[in-house]
Structure 1
Amino acid sequence: MRPVAALFGQRARLRWLHLILGGALFMPFWMVGSLVVAPLLDGGGIFTGSLGVQWGAYAAGLPLAAVTALFPLARPMSVAAARALCGVPADRFADGPARGRAAKARTAGWFSLHLGCGALVSGATLALPPFAVSVMALPFSPALRESELGRLWGLDRPGWIWAGLPAGLLMLLTLAAVAAAAGALLARQAPRLLGPSPADRLAAAERRAAEAESRNRLARELHDSVGHALSAVTLQAGAARRVLDGDGADLEFVREALTAIEETTRRTVGELDWVLGLLRDEGQAAAAGPGPGLDALEALVRGAGPRVALTVAGDLDPVSEALSREAYRIVQEGLTNAARHAGGEPVAVRLDARTEELEITMENPLPERPPVARPHGGRGLRGVGERARLLGGTVEAGPVDGVWRLAVRIPR
């Protein structure tokens, strides 16, 4: 069964179809070659029956096909056909137009090989089966046996009358074997000639890095906006509950806490819409705005509670949009970190824009009891470091003289 599958199985049939496609693509080049060769050899037209003209047109058409393969669309079209019909794993092919001389030369080599082999197999596929059927019909037709074909095969002699059956069958099997061998040759050469070059691999690696950075950015945005909102709301709600549970409830404090919860949730819904816009469509999110920046910093601090103090030195207006957005997120994550781990201690936030660097410093006294750490650690400070490094800045975080300090410096 294996020999039969190798000659007539689905893979063999698809590769045969791929070769016939190559023969069809070669026809325009063959006709142009005939226009050039026919007048030089016998002065006949392009449809002359001379074998010299046919082979001359074939030889002249192959270089024309190779030149055509230098155009940008040649490799994507060849890769699409080979992926569908050659039975080669899709990941072994390059994507996009060929870049560089070596890649273009390999594409030209593949195009010439595909069209050259395809033209020969297509011609044999068109001509040989009718001839083989005629040979196989010779024993059953006296007229055919007495024709020139019968005399050529010697079937007009006694004892040879049935020789046409195996001869015609052998022709068909030979055609199938040649088509299978040519298809296997193309399948072996496809990854080498249409596979990724070093430039293609570098471009693919850059695309993967850009996609990973985009995913990391979305993760940071979700973590900072939603995480901060939940921490701030939890802190304010807990404080309001404790005041209501105590003697002589301070209704004004509870009102301020509820107002802070309302502002925080309303602001976070807008930020969440912006982040979801990034997931749906980068252009739509960009049209909706770049996200919150330092102009929204006072509202952020106000929503974090009365025990957070903000100090700004210098003018923040000249700060670029990208730096303003990242600085806002850094402060937001610092406040989230303090809400989770500072145990209600006061938090001091300072921004200094008087030098060539924007300095962000956040400090809070260390609580008497160490905070309960999450089993696998948090992602907040890691995200702060990623944001700062993307803009060429530095981050320092840790306990200093009984105070937890987060210091970020980013060039303006």
Structure 2
Amino acid sequence: MPGLLLPFTRAVTYTRWLHLLVGAVVPLACAMAYPGLTGLSPDEWALIPLLPLPLVLTAALVPSVRRAEGLQARLMLFPGPHARVRTAGEPPVSAVSSASWTDRARTGAWLVLRLEAGLALALVTDALLTFALSLAGAAAGDPGLADPLLRVSGAGWVYALLVPVPVLVLVMVAAGAGALLARAARRLLGPSVKERLAVLEQRTEQLLERNDIARELHDTLGHALTLAVVQAGAARAAGDPEFTDRALEAIEEAGRAALEDLERVLLVLRETGRPAGARPGLGEAGLLLDSARSSGARVDAEVTGPLEHLPGPVSREAYRMLQEALTNVLRHAGPVQVAVRIAVHEARLRLEVRNPLPVETLVAGRGRGSGLRGIRERAALLGGEARAGQDGGQWLLHVDLPLR
């Protein structure tokens, strides 16, 4: 029983009803011009639904009509955010203009359906409400108060008990017609294949952007914190005031650079429309090497080829890969001898970072951390590859990236 009464208590039942009745305005307005609304023959009644078809089909060719119908359907045919019973997610109809002839054809079919269904429901509404008035008139002793399709004979108070019946039937008919119209809206006004692909591409771009931001935070903050930990540990072990001053200066520089990178990432997340600032490129690799040296690592660097002519994406991602590689060295091997080779040759960029490993690390094995996974993902996105593993008692990271 509660399920049967649910349509009577839902606001969407009446907004759908109104939406259908508004659709009946066009054929009724055309009928007022011809053939009229009184004294019609059956043939003339059959002509009324057909008269406005050329008009609505022509309107469907206008791209913005689809957008207008989609907005109306979202507002009137589906429960709003404060409804007790609502559809999950966004309303399943698009609110964009027609972009193809298929969209125009679907819009035309929707307009015809809305027009014809609205006219039919308007006639049913008129008939049932007139019948309810006739029953009320019979209960009051005047059965001729209205002129329904179904005649009421006699008079008496008992007819008052029947007055709610046509009203209840009307609400049920309106609820059913509204539900069918909402289902049709999903098919005819729903997003096209092109729109669904566009939404999927947008979601994919958002996921890639989130992954990129996660890698940025991991690389930047991980590098700064690793440097800070290594420098603090070395300063405490050395017990030399001069070395402690240099360590504190290196920690300060690493923290300042990390804060600048963090601010760039936060600007992107806030979407303020302001430029997020230029990310560092491989041309600034000297800063990373100096930072590693200040942490006690003995860095032997060899750079060949014009780094300043690298494409922007390749340069920026290679910088992050080198940053992560040096961070891993300091984190897992400590201040050891590090050999860095950067070469630009034959439209390719090759980056190698080699360092000795402690015996316990050689036995345990490495290569499955999130940092190395991020390096591999960056390389794959650029069409290159990254390999990391043990090489004769040393740890070798090799990155090969195309420049096109």
Kept in 2: contact 1:293–1:324 (CA 8 A): yes
Inter-CA distance 406–163: structure 2 relative to 1 (3 Å threshold): same
* 2:209 is the alignment partner of 1:214: yes
CA drift at 1:140: 2.4
1:154-193 to 2 correspondences below 5 Å = 155=153, 161=156, 164-165=159-160, 168-193=163-188
Query: Quick check: 2:56–2:111 contact (8 Å CA) kept in 1?
Result: yes
Amino acid of the residue matched to residue 113 of structure 2? L
- Please say if 1:235 is aligned against 2:230: yes
Partner of 1:10: 9
Shift of 1:183: 2.5
The equivalent residue for 1:24 is 22
Q: CA deviation at 1:206?
A: 1.9
Q: Could you tell me how far 1:345 is from its partner in structure 2?
A: 1.3
Distance (Å, rounded) in 1 between the aligned partners of 2:54 and 2:366: 66
Distance 1:372 1:28, change over 3 A: farther
Q: Which residues of structure 2 form unaligned runs of 5+?
A: none
The 1:94–1:172 alpha-carbon spacing in structure 2 relative to 1, beyond 3 Å, is closer
Q: Give the direction of change, closer, same or farther, for the CA distance of 1:350–1:146 in structure 2 (3 Å limit).
A: closer
Please give the secondary structure, in 2, of the residue aligned with 1:283. Answer: coil
Match of 1:396 among 387, 391, 394: 387
* Per-residue deviation, residues 357-401 of structure 1 (Å, max 9, x unmatched): 111111111223318989995211111111111111111111112
**Residue type of the partner of 1:23?**
L
Q: Name the residue aligned to 2:319.
A: 328
CA distance in 1, matches of 2:363, 2:72: 59
Residue 342 of structure 1 is matched in structure 2 by 333
The whole-number CA distance in structure 2 between the counterparts of 1:216 and 1:145 is 75
SS state of the match for residue 60, structure 1? coil
Is 1:258 the counterpart of 2:257 in the alignment? Answer: no
Among 271, 288, 313, which residue is 2:261 paired with?
A: 271
Count, aligned residues: 388
Q: Aligned partners of 1:406 and 1:168: how far apart in 2?
A: 85
Could you tell me which amino acid in structure 1 is paired with residue 204 of structure 2? A
- Rounded to whole Å, the distance in 2 between the matches of 1:195 and 1:383 is 39
Code of the residue aligned with 1:22 in structure 2: it is: L
Alpha-carbon deviations, 1:264-320, whole Å to 9, x = none? 111111111101111111732xx2422112233212221122422332112211112
- Normalising by the residue count of structure 2, what TM-score does the alignment of the two structures yield? 0.82
> Does the CA contact (< 8 Å) of 1:237 and 1:257 recur in 2?
yes
Identity %: 35
- Structure 2 residue identity aligned to 1:93: P
Secondary structure of 1:353's aligned partner? strand
* 1:288 to 1:167, Cα distance in 2 relative to 1, 3 A: closer
- The more displaced of 85-94 and 268-277 is 85-94
Quick check: 1:291 aligned with 2:289?
no
Alignment check: 8 A CA contact 1:26 1:65 kept: no
Q: Please say if 1:129 is aligned against 2:120.
A: no
Q: Is the 8 A contact 2:20 2:121 kept in 1?
A: no
Partner deviation per Cα, 1:334-360 (whole Å, 9 max, x = no partner) = 111111112321112221124311111
CA distance in 1, matches of 2:89, 2:189: 11
Relative distance call for 1:235 and 1:190 in structure 2 (3 A) is: same
In 2, Cα distance between the equivalents of 1:133 and 1:208?
A: 55
The C-alpha deviation readout for 1:214-247, integer Å capped at 9, x for no partner, is 1101100000000111011111121111111xxx
One-letter amino acid of the structure 1 residue matched with residue 92 of structure 2: F
Shift of 1:172: 2.7
Change in CA separation of 1:294 and 1:133 when aligned onto 2, cut-off 3 Å: same
Question: What amino acid maps onto 2:208 in structure 1?
Answer: E
Distance 1:266 1:69, change over 3 A: same
Which of 301, 320, 326 aligns to 2:289? It is 301
- Give the secondary-structure state (helix, strand or coil) at the position aligned to 2:358: coil
Tell me what 2:38 maps to: 49
Alpha-carbon contact 1:23-1:119 (below 8 Å) kept: yes
Which of residues 344, 349, 358 in structure 1 aligns to 2:349?
A: 358
Secondary structure, counterpart of 1:317 in structure 2: helix
Contact persistence 1:394–1:410 (CA under 8 A):
yes
Aligned residue for 1:68?
59
Distance 2:392 2:146 in 1: 110
Is the Cα contact below 8 Å between 1:128 and 1:171 reproduced in 2? yes
Contact kept in structure 2, 1:257 and 1:305, CA below 8 Å: no
3-state SS, counterpart of residue 309 of structure 2 = coil
Answer yes or no: is the 8 Å Cα contact 1:347–1:363 preserved in 2: yes
Aligned 8 A contact 1:260 1:304 in 2 = no
What is the rounded CA distance, in whole Å, between the counterparts of 2:88 and 2:221 in structure 1? 42
C-alpha contact 1:63 1:112 (8 A) present in aligned 2 = no
CA distance in 2, matches of 1:10, 1:198: 36
So what's the TM-score if we normalise by structure 1?
0.81
State which of 294, 303, 310 in structure 2 corresponds to 1:319.
310
Change (3 A) 1:277 1:148: closer
Per the TM alignment, residue 403 of structure 1 is displaced from its structure 2 partner at its CA by 1.7
Following TM superposition, by how much is the alpha carbon of 1:208 offset from its aligned partner in structure 2, in angstroms? 2.2
- How far 1:181 sits from its partner (Å)? 2.8
Distance change (3 Å), C-alpha of 1:2 and 1:69:
farther
**CA distance in structure 1 between the aligned counterparts of 2:235 and 2:144, rounded to whole angstroms:** 112
C-alpha distance in 2 between matches for 1:376 and 1:395: 11
